Structure 1
Amino acid sequence: MSAVESALHTVSRPKIPARLPIAVALLWLTAFSASALPWFDQLHFSQLLAAFWTFDGNQYASVLAHFSWAPRVSIAILIGCALGLAGAVTQQVLGNPLASPTTLGVEAGGQFGVTFATLFAPGLLAFSPDLAAVAGGLLAIGLVIVLTWRLGFSPVTVILAGLVVTFFLGAINMAFLLLKGEWLGNLFIWGAGSLVQNNWTPFFDLLPRVLVIAALMLALMRPLQLLQLGQASADSLGAKVSWLRAAALFLVVLMSSVVVSRVGLVAFVGLAAPVLARLLGARTLTERLFWSTLAGGGLLLLADTLAQWATAWDGGSLVPTGTTTALIGGPVILLALQGFRNTHHMPDQGNGPAGFLPRRRSPLLVAGTLCSLLALTIILSMSWSPGLEGWNWTPLAQWTDAWVWRGPRLMAAILAGMALGMAGTLIQRMTGNPMGSPELLGISGGAALVMVVMVLTGLEIGRLGQLAAATAGAASALGLLLLLARKHQFAGNQLLLGGLALYVFMDAGLRLVMASGGTVAARLLNWMYGSTWLISESEAFGLLALVVGLSTLLLLALRPLTLLPLGETSASALGLRVPRARLLLLVLAAMLTAASTVVIGPLSFVGLIAPHLARVLGQQTVGRQMLVAALAGGLLLSLADYLARILVYPNQLPAGLLAALVGGLYFLWGLSRHGRA
């Protein structure tokens, strides 16, 4: 009988598909060959291999290969394997095929910790940069865990929480950079992710740390296998699931933070490697851990080689490895989404529109109050401001003179806020997801990515050309999302996760800009975070015409937006063609978002906050919520513009950066609130 059972066990054991080892072997061969190719005209293959342990002091190429190329290849493989293993463990712990140290905000947290320590505790960095990075990583993943604990680590919710934690910490990092750029410039070049080496010390310093943490992760392998049975079954078998998750995630934070503290952000290797291993046929936990580790080493070596080639092609201008890894990560996310089935609802999605119903209030009273507050903000912004001789009041008769400096930026901020408020209401109503916004949908990122590309290529097409290009970028992002979500009938979850993939590409461009430096990069970064001082009078009035025209089209969207939250079946039964309605609404949301993104940047979160404020103020019907959200958005961004102008005078902060900081906090609070509900 035991022989029969053994035979059955052998038959039932999943076999490793041949394509898995073949693909990983080809990945390593391609990466190593591409890395070694520039050296073949100076050294023989045997000499190049020998460079990993010795060198010929009489041959300069041999010395250079031993102290530069070989340690760079070695540290790329070591870090890639470490992040691949960390990503596989993260996905196993959370049961989430899109989880990784990057999507959980751990790497952004590590960079935040190093940045904060550089400014306020440099002695800590001198003692050990690992401590600052680990503290930041623990802060980031702690926020994600607290926010999503009550939802059972729902895959979509975990990713969105991690993404917004990344946004929020990134916005703080950017504020530090803009205010203390003379101290942090080199730090952000490092933060873009560079594996440049000039000796073996960093490799041998990192090697024991990675090996010890990896050994501790592998020691948890058998308990981690129980998580595949579900939490209830694992508990019944004696596993302490909560403690197991905490220990594994702590090791993930340690591994990621140790890497970040030395080479900066080499993002998305920890996501791409496990996804690649899974797509190629790795089924059991042991297989996923082993093949994810190997795939991570090959992927990072390939990405670093591409970065070196791009640096040489660009005339020696540094192209960070973090940029090429992020460009690899985006397509991997899109591939993973094609086969991803989310069985968990978004926060509050299962409750429908009745999940949160504050007391109804008169729309005239609410709109009147918001208009009064907006008028007060306009008066303050135009009249009460600091100057060379201190604070002074500009009387109404002199507003004509003050308009040139204060008027266009204030007008553009109000209009951008109104457009984002309406776009956010469209998206939240259409997807039935109260945590949705143009920023998370990726439409803002599409517009921003085009602007980054234009700056990097040195293309000068004027402001109107930039506006048109940004609109085209938003439309392209929308088209990609529609292709991605077509088979899911444009469901909200797939759209929001597709937006994450678009954010990856935008993040790659941002890191490339930060590493390149220069005045053009500074100007672009200011725009990315919403510098309204770049707006001219003609652009402000052009935005006015565009927003007024688009808002009139919203009258046609009231009925679809009323029916969609009822669910696809009910909406179809009432005569609504759901896929077509979602397509038209997405186009309208894209146009509103593009119009505001070129003014305030892609990361303001006003599109998230304004619709929520409208509901809190008791506006439940679509038309009333749309109106109040528009007024609330205009008020929020006008106030942000005023505060950005006066808080650090004579310096200025981008208005969108202040809005992103406040909006990120609001999102995190809102996510936890819906989770408790």
Structure 2
Amino acid sequence: MRKAAILALAAGLAAILWGLAARQMLPSGWPSLPFDASAMSLQQILIAFGMMPRGMIALVAGAALGLSGALLQAVLRNPVADPTTLGISSGAQLALVMATIFAPGLLEVGRWPVALVGAGLAAGLVIAIGARRAFAPVTMVIAGMLVGLTTSAIATAITLSRGEYLLSLVIWNGGSLVQQDWSGVLSLTAVLIVGAIGAALLARPLRVLSLGAAGASALGLNVAGVRLAVILLAVLLAGAVSAELGLIGFVGLAAPALARSMGARSMGQVLALAPLIGALILSVCDGVVLTLAGATGEMFPTGALTGLIGGPLLIWLLPRLRGSTPPGTETAEGIAPRLAHPVTFLIVFGLAGLALAGLLAWIGRVPHGWAVLDWDSFNAFLPLRLPRIVAAAAVGALLAMAGAILQRLTANPLASPEVLGVSGGAAIGYALTLFATGTPIPALQMLGTMLGGAMALALVAAYARRRDMPAERVLLAGISVSAMAAAVLSAIMATGSAQSWQVLAWLSGSSSTVGWWQAASLGGLAVLVLVLARMAARWLQILPLGPEVSLGLGLPLDRARVGLIALAGVATGAATVLVGPVSFVGLMAPHLSRRIGFARAQDHIAGSALIGAILMIAADFGARMAGFPYELPLGLFASLLGAPWLLWLMMRMRR
């Protein structure tokens, strides 16, 4: 009875919000069936072919996402699996962005095939990674959200680099439910019907699979076949929504969780109740958006509210996860070499970085091709190029040291500053400062950005203080913050305001505006972080052995975790303030350092800093030269360097 009352209350709220929004547009009277545009006023046409399809598609899309999330959570036995956390929606996004820009002919038959291919490839990659670790819940979500962050970063950078498609792609990425006719409703309804029939047929096999893969196989169930069928069905539902509406995040996470909290226990109950709850969630969120639009005149995409719901919900569900990422995963790559004389190699890398910086400052492009600057031209350009080279090197070093600290702290090779949540929090702080002050002065802009990063850091640190919280859950908390930030920023950018373009440009990453004092500040901070990290070398050497060993050796575990996360957060936040949330250098550099042979903690940190500096100098040069005479996003080059490494690394990891 309580369950029915809650659902009725939510349905009533959605109906009231939608009715109020429609009434604001139509004070004269409702359109009557059959809808004949020639006999309607303009306001009635907007209601019949705009507002009413919008209200229906919110219900249909919410139901499809709720059912998709319930299927994924059932087949993977993972309470935080959904199209967002497993990278399915982001895969569809990247496929559509790339098709729009590089192969528009593929869209002649519609967006659906392209979106479904992208969603399927992303899901296939995540499932392949998860299968190598027996679909451990934490591993699956970390892999899925990292794939999602990868694809989203590349899609954003490519979008920014092609201005003629910028507005349409940004608005689509925000997840807007705006409709012009009933075709989208009919298409998604057909997909939902197929999904419902498929879910009904798969409910019994899923109940058997809930006993575990071994038990289900002993009962004669084709486990691989059932998993494939369920995942394909979930991808169809989520990919269709992404193709029609853009990115609507976390509805598939919230709906099954709320269904279970309302008393649904059996597989059939969850599969039946989750679509209904998903429909109500999206309908209420869209009603709130329409009501705010009527009151303020500013229309936000509905993806903004669903993103705000999903992040806190995911963090709330983290302690309820079972399964973990096994410690010591570095051994999955084989025994790392150990240099006999690491100091010599550190000196060589330092000299190599200086030589590369000098070489890239000396060469450039002119209208007729590549050229080596003469001495006079070199002297003229050096004051312009040197600050950004120094800043790029310092940013690379800061991100690399943060990544090395996090990987040792969590004993997880997938840890990096980008998934700590600090970059996402700093980006929200930057965006809110722009919207609150219009054109803020640099000091205020820096303060807002640092405060945003500090809030994200405080949230993650709160998890780190819990001794019963495994280190990989701390990493997952950071990923949750990053995913929530990405959803909110997509919605902000989709408003099309002047501030949204500034946010988009900053998110792509650029060192072009860095002056001497910023470069010197970053360089000084990089040196300070290096010194502090070397002072904490004993902590960093012991922590990968696990919490029990660390406590047995007298390590102050709580203080060590909080202190190291704070150090990594400051390094990441400072780099983010000036050049945007550059991606994946903090993941690559520590791994390269370890594989080269920098085994001891202090050598690992120093080697990571030097390699990160070299990588960012190279990425900055590519950003300046590849699109000459225009500068392309620095984040694009960092992502293109990091994404293949990330995928290769995850595919090598085993249980």
Q: TM-score range by the shorter chain?
A: over 0.9
1:489-508 alignment, distance < 5 Å: 489=468, 491-508=470-487
Aligned residue in 2 for 1:417: 396
Q: Residue 386 of structure 1 aligns to a residue in which SS? A: strand
TM-score norm. by structure 1 comes to 0.91
2-side partners of 1:672 and 1:68: how far apart? 45
Q: 1:400 Cα shift?
A: 3.8
Q: Residue 650 of structure 1 aligns to a residue in which SS? A: coil
Q: Residue 391 of structure 1 aligns to a residue in which SS? A: strand
Which segment drifts farther, 176-185 or 430-439? 176-185
Which segment drifts farther, 457-466 or 279-288? 457-466
2-side partners of 1:190 and 1:527: how far apart? 20
Tell me if 1:322 matches 2:303.
Answer: yes
Aligned residue in 1 for 2:317: 336
Contact conserved, 1:147 with 1:668, CA < 8 A, in 2? no
Tell me if 1:99 matches 2:78.
Answer: no
Aligned residue in 2 for 1:14: none
Contact conserved, 2:333 with 2:653, CA < 8 A, in 1? no
Q: 1:497 Cα shift?
A: 1.6
Q: Residue 368 of structure 1 aligns to a residue in which SS? A: helix
Contact conserved, 2:624 with 2:631, CA < 8 A, in 1? yes
Q: 1:397 Cα shift?
A: 5.9
Evaluate the alpha carbon distance shift between residue 226 and residue 540 of structure 1 in structure 2; reply closer, same or farther with a 3 A threshold. Answer: same
Tell me if 1:449 matches 2:422.
Answer: no
Contact conserved, 1:155 with 1:342, CA < 8 A, in 2? yes
Tell me if 1:667 matches 2:646.
Answer: yes
Evaluate the alpha carbon distance shift between residue 520 and residue 671 of structure 1 in structure 2; reply closer, same or farther with a 3 A threshold. Answer: same
Tell me if 1:79 matches 2:79.
Answer: no
Contact conserved, 1:105 with 1:166, CA < 8 A, in 2? yes
Q: Which of 541, 544, 557 is the matching residue for 1:562?
A: 541
TM-score norm. by structure 2 comes to 0.94
Q: 1:670 Cα shift?
A: 1.0
Aligned residue in 2 for 1:525: 504
Aligned residue in 1 for 2:586: 607
Evaluate the alpha carbon distance shift between residue 138 and residue 352 of structure 1 in structure 2; reply closer, same or farther with a 3 A threshold. Answer: closer
Q: 1:573 Cα shift?
A: 2.1
Contact conserved, 2:414 with 2:587, CA < 8 A, in 1? yes
Q: 1:570 Cα shift?
A: 2.0
2-side partners of 1:87 and 1:173: how far apart? 24
2-side partners of 1:437 and 1:309: how far apart? 40
Identity of aligned residues (%): 36
Q: Which of 460, 470, 477 is the matching residue for 1:481?
A: 460
Tell me if 1:271 matches 2:253.
Answer: yes
Contact conserved, 2:158 with 2:636, CA < 8 A, in 1? no
Q: Residue 251 of structure 1 aligns to a residue in which SS? A: helix
Tell me if 1:115 matches 2:97.
Answer: yes
Can you give the 5+ residue segments of structure 2 that lack an aligned partner in the other structure?
none
Aligned residue in 1 for 2:553: 574
Amino acid paired to 1:323: A
Evaluate the alpha carbon distance shift between residue 583 and residue 485 of structure 1 in structure 2; reply closer, same or farther with a 3 A threshold. Answer: closer
Evaluate the alpha carbon distance shift between residue 517 and residue 536 of structure 1 in structure 2; reply closer, same or farther with a 3 A threshold. Answer: farther
Q: Which of 55, 63, 66 is the matching residue for 2:48?
A: 66
2-side partners of 1:137 and 1:532: how far apart? 33
1-side partners of 2:407 and 2:332: how far apart? 10
Amino acid paired to 1:213: G
Q: Residue 619 of structure 2 aligns to a residue in which SS? A: helix
Aligned residue in 2 for 1:12: none
Q: 1:351 Cα shift?
A: 7.4
Q: Which of 522, 530, 548 is the matching residue for 1:551?
A: 530
Q: Which of 243, 256, 269 is the matching residue for 2:225?
A: 243
Which segment drifts farther, 56-65 or 422-431? 56-65
**CA deviation string 1:584-622 (max 9, x = no partner):** 111111111111112332241111111111110111111
**CA deviation string 1:98-135 (max 9, x = no partner):** 11111111111112222232234433322232111111
Contact conserved, 1:52 with 1:71, CA < 8 A, in 2? no
Q: 1:216 Cα shift?
A: 1.6
Q: Residue 364 of structure 2 aligns to a residue in which SS? A: strand
2-side partners of 1:574 and 1:484: how far apart? 23
**CA deviation string 1:445-490 (max 9, x = no partner):** 1111111222233443322322232222222111112334543445
Contact conserved, 1:560 with 1:576, CA < 8 A, in 2? yes
Can you give the 5+ residue segments of structure 1 that lack an aligned partner in the other structure?
1-17
Q: 1:167 Cα shift?
A: 2.1
2-side partners of 1:169 and 1:231: how far apart? 31
Q: Which of 312, 325, 328 is the matching residue for 1:345?
A: 325
1-side partners of 2:501 and 2:573: how far apart? 22
Evaluate the alpha carbon distance shift between residue 423 and residue 68 of structure 1 in structure 2; reply closer, same or farther with a 3 A threshold. Answer: same
1-side partners of 2:433 and 2:307: how far apart? 19
1-side partners of 2:472 and 2:262: how far apart? 25
1:155-554 alignment, distance < 5 Å: 155-316=137-298, 318-338=299-319, 340-346=320-326, 348-349=327-328, 356-395=335-374, 398-489=377-468, 491-517=470-496, 520-554=499-533
Q: 1:146 Cα shift?
A: 1.9
2-side partners of 1:337 and 1:20: how far apart? 25
Q: 1:149 Cα shift?
A: 1.5
**CA deviation string 1:415-473 (max 9, x = no partner):** 01111111111111111112111111112211111112222334433223222322222
Aligned residue in 2 for 1:27: 10
